[in-house]
Amino acid sequence: MAHQNILSSLENNITTITINRPSKLNALNQATIAELHKAFKEADENKKTKVIIITGSGEKAFVAGADISEFADYSVSQGEKLAAEGQAKLFDFVAHLSTPVIAAINGFALGGGLELAMAAHFRIASDNAKMGLPEVSLGVIPGYGGTQRLPQLVGKGRAMELIMTAGMIDANQALQYGLVNHVTTPEELLPLAQKLASKISGNSTVAIAAAIEAVNAGFEDGENGYEAEITQFGKCFGTADFQEGTQAFLQKRKANFPGK
């Protein structure tokens, strides 16, 4: 069935998922979260997809947050369920995908929008982008992983300030903080995302999946990232991609990875 709130297209081994509710600044309602879950899952399971780009439609917003109109009258238990289900279906789900996910932030990335961008494996932004976690201005806190991922990315003090002030930073400040890796003009945003994606897609997909798992392990409770790295490193030696990558190097040719 066609999606109502998102667009998804596959070209040159890159799946681009676009959140498409521009009249609501692409705010994440439950229906959109469910569609995003489905689209990310399908892209991850499709062998043709080597990289996923997530972006927002229109010139104004990536995502202006969770849809406030949906949860304004929620109770304590409904609030807890909203955060738990959202994290499981979308934010943790994206962070743990084995297909690399690049967030191309094309405008406001606020609340759940910044949390979605932070769940992606890395971020780039257009120079009109504005980022923040304004939840305390609504009497709530970030509930889709923001209190954890923002300090991981920018440091505890900067995260505390951004969360407590409910302020916004612009793209250049985000670049300086290390929250985004590159800043471009709005016109160059998707071309840059595609260029990075195409560079990634020339490498071994199984090795990239192993790298994502090892990097993530260092941020998981009760996991030892160094041990995860040793396990993933060892596993690579049993893959056809490793055979191809090392043989291609020794034979002075470009590797053509089978992806297994």
> Closer to ligand COA at the Cβ: 29 or 203?
29
- The binder of ligand COA chosen from 67, 100, 154, 175 (CB under 6 A): 67
| Torsion angles phi and psi, residue 11, rounded to 5 | -150, 135
> Closer to ligand COA at the Cβ: 116 or 175?
116
* Dist. CA 246–CA 244, nearest whole Å: 6
CA distances from 182 to 41, 58, 102 (A): 27, 20, 12
CA distances from 241 to 171, 208, 246 (A): 37, 11, 8
> Closer to ligand COA at the Cβ: 14 or 64?
64
Restricting to residues 129-148, name those near ligand COA by CB under 6 A.
134-135, 138
Cα angle value 166/180/70 (rounded, 5°): 45
- The binder of ligand COA chosen from 68, 215, 217, 255 (CB under 6 A): 68
Residue 97 in contact with residue 54, Cβ under 8 Å? no
What residues are labeled active site? 115, 135
Q: Please report how close the Cβ of residue 170 comes to ligand COA at its closest, in angstroms.
A: 13
Q: Please report how close the Cβ of residue 208 comes to ligand COA at its closest, in angstroms.
A: 32
Is residue 197 close enough to count as binding ligand COA by CB under 6 A? no
Contacts of 191 (CB under 8 A, 6+ apart): none
By CB under 6 A, name the binding residues for ligand COA. 24-25, 27, 64-69, 108, 110-112, 134-135, 138
